[in-house]
Amino acid sequence: MSQENKSSKPIKPPAKTTPLFLLIFSLGILAIAYPSPQEHEPIKHEVAVTRLIIPVFAFDSSGNPVYDLKQEDLKLYINGKPVEISSFSRINFQYDRETTTEVKEEKIKQEQPVVQERIIFFIFDTMFNSFYGLKNGKKIVNKLVDKDAQQSQFVIMENSLFGGLKLVGGPERDKKKVKKLIRRVARLPEYNAVESDYDITSRSPLSYYRTNKVISREHRKFEKEKVKIFVDFLSRLKYSLEAIDQPKIIFLISEGFPQILFYEANLNIQGHISYDPTPFRMMKQLVKEINDGGSLMYTIYAGRVNLHQRPPHSSSPGKGPQGVTPTWGFTLDDVFIPITRDSGIESLKTMGVGSGGQFFEGSTERIIKEVHKSTAAYYELAFTPRSDLGDNMRIKIKCQRKGVRVDSLVQTIRNKAYADMKQIQKKIFAINLVMGRNWANMEEKIKKGNYTWQNNQRTAIEVEIPENMKLQPVDIFIIQFEADFKNPDIKMARKMVTDTEIIEIKKKKNKETLYFLIIEPESTSCIYNRISQI
């Protein structure tokens, strides 16, 4: 049996990189961004939790982007305590000078900000969207793509009751291909309260009112369950966001949750109607997951301007809950709480503004203009989290320059230790390591590992185990890539190791690059290497 020591040659990624790949692990979604061209020499760094990055968008009172914001213009507070800003810099996107008419060219040339590509997620909600809302939402997104002058990459996703959070396609820079992906989004024939023959919020004039009332209660229960499913599915986007250290934006296109879902009735007490905080709590959880992934979420209302006729003495659209007082003797099924256009708007505002982003409504032209201006001036603020700040950090950024506002994350979490990560997060971590990216999550001790082939067929390798890993349970990863590091395939196993470990190799079709990686969870000691062509 011939055994030959293999030391991996430096990898030469393609000159022109594509910064995002998406994988689907079970019901979760994993997105990976790979780096600019670099040599894969042994990774020589030992990283503690050094700093966290907060994305910041700046604009003035008229909504125009502000490109000359400085670090001294801002004050950062974490959990109410002032924190020193380590660095603050504007990120320049390709061709972003074309997006504004008020910025002086000389200033841009003097600043020389870092040039990056940004990734834009368009998520079409098919659970709380009518046919009209979905059609109008596609129209809005098509125009946003058309008007993009920054060479962004687009990811099209769909959040549906039966399919979950589904990748339709992307990342894609070609606008024609992006529009084809948008056309593939289709609304499933789900029950929609707004389009029901019998409005679940209004009193039925029909003789079989009692039967209709029972049906209404069941529909409300079903719709509330849909809110939970909606949040569960969309929260999984967090894992994709964690793997992307480029500028990223999320746009949720929806009509929002019907306002009736925020009320509850006691079936045993006539006229007893109370506020149900459950949907609101679930929306807060969604916002937290998106923020923990390092992104803001912008929400777009795609429904009709006047969905239902408002009754007298009710509040005007967009002004909050309706001011209707139930009459004694009626239950929630009897009282008229109309589903006006602001029923879904309030929930979308909660999610958008609550994440640190914004909410957009109105005509398509108005939405395009406001989105374009609000997201053009992008900065990254870095700070070092102190031990007294805790794990959950509420963020507040005050801009001291008059007339300037900023959008940023409202909360984040201290980086999680590897041993506490979920399996999908460990897989993201492993792929980032072999691709030479700086995860900067914890203390890392990473070395190249030696291996030998076990047979002429090259179906297994034997890896030398370092002393500090021997007789310890470790995580073993085999990662395969297609050409240009596309479409990674990753296998993970947990086992106890001794002096050496035999790893079986099953080469997959079209996979050109192969790595092994072994991590000891407690010490985060890692060995990895690229396996020669097999």
3-state secondary structure at position 16: coil
Higher pLDDT, 424 or 35: 424
- Residues 204, 98 within the same domain: no
So what's the pLDDT on residue 59?
82
* Cα separation, 420 vs 28, whole angstroms: 18
Number of independent structural domains in the chain: 3
* 359 and 427 assigned to the same domain: no
235-273 pLDDT, tens per residue?
777 777 766 666 778 898 888 877 666 666 554 444 455
Residue with tokens 């968008």: 57
Torsion of CA 436, 437, 438, 442, to 10 degrees: -80
Query: Is 436 strand, coil or helix?
Result: coil
Among the candidates 397, 413, 429, a domain finishes at 413
Query: Quick check: 54 and 409 in contact, CB under 8 A?
Result: yes
Residues 361 and 245 in one domain: yes
CB 232 within 8 A of CB 280: no
pLDDT grade, residue 24 (50/70/90)?
Answer: very low
Q: d(Cα 356, Cα 354) in Å, to the nearest integer?
A: 5
The residue ranking higher by pLDDT, 381 or 331, is 381
* Nearest Cα to Cα of residue 42 among 436, 428, 443: 436
Longest dimension (CA), the chain: 89
Residues 213 and 300 in one domain: yes
53-110 pLDDT tens trace: 778 888 887 778 888 888 888 888 888 888 888 878 777 654 444 333 444 444 444 4
152 in the same domain as 35: no
Region 9-28 average pLDDT:
37
* Higher-pLDDT residue of 452, 443: 452
DSSP states along 81-149: EEE-EEEEEEEEETTGGGG-SSS-HHHHHHH-PEEE--EEEEEEESSS--HHHHHHHHHHHHHHHHH--
- The reply to whether 97 falls in a domain is yes
Higher pLDDT, 328 or 489: 489
Assigned domain for 436 exists: yes
| 471 Cβ contact list (under 8 Å, min separation 6) | 496, 497, 498
In a domain, 127, yes or no: yes
- Do residues 393 and 450 both lie within one domain? no
The per-residue pLDDT for 176 is 86
Is residue 258 assigned to a domain?
A: yes
Residues 223, 321, single domain; the answer is: yes
Q: Are residues 323 and 465 in the same domain?
A: no
CATH of the domain at 132: 3.40.50.410
C-alpha gyration radius of the chain: 26
Q: Are residues 473 and 518 in the same domain?
A: yes
CA-angle at 421, arms to 415 and 426, nearest 5°: 105
Token code pair at residue 428 = 């993201």
Of 413, 433, 463, the residue at which a domain comes to its end is: 413
Tell me the pLDDT tens digit for each residue of 300-313. Answer: 888 876 554 344 44
Q: Give the pLDDT confidence score for residue 435 in this predicted structure.
A: 66
Predicted local confidence at residue 213, as pLDDT: 45
Same domain, 494 and 384: no
Domain assignment present for 14: no
Percent of the chain with pLDDT over 90: 0
Contact 298, 357 (CB under 8 A): yes
Secondary structure (3-state) at 515: strand
Q: Is the pLDDT of residue 204 over 70?
A: no
The string of DSSP letters for 362-395 reads S-HHHHHHHHHHHTTSEEEEEEPPPGGG-SEEEE
Q: Does some domain include residue 230?
A: yes
Is position 249 within any domain? yes
The 3 state secondary structure assigned to 242-310 is HCCCCCEEEEEEECCCCHHHHEEECCCCCCCEEECCHHHHHHHHHHHHHHHCCCCEEEEECCCCCCCCC
Work out whether the CA dihedral 134, 136, 140, 142 comes out positive or negative. Answer: positive
What 8-state DSSP symbol labels residue 65?
B
- Tell me the residue range of the domain where 209 lies: 119-374
Question: For the segment 412-422, what is each residue's pLDDT rounded down to a tens digit?
Answer: 766 666 776 77
Give the domain-ending residue among 364, 397, 413: 413
436 with 463, same domain? yes
Structural domain contains residue 264: yes
Question: pLDDT tens digits, residue range 366-408?
Answer: 888 888 888 778 787 877 777 666 667 788 888 888 888 888 7
Judge whether residue 505 has pLDDT over 60.
yes
Q: Residue 8: is its pLDDT beyond 50?
A: no
pTM: 0.61
Asked if 398 and 370 sit in the same domain, the reply is no
pLDDT of residue 187: 67
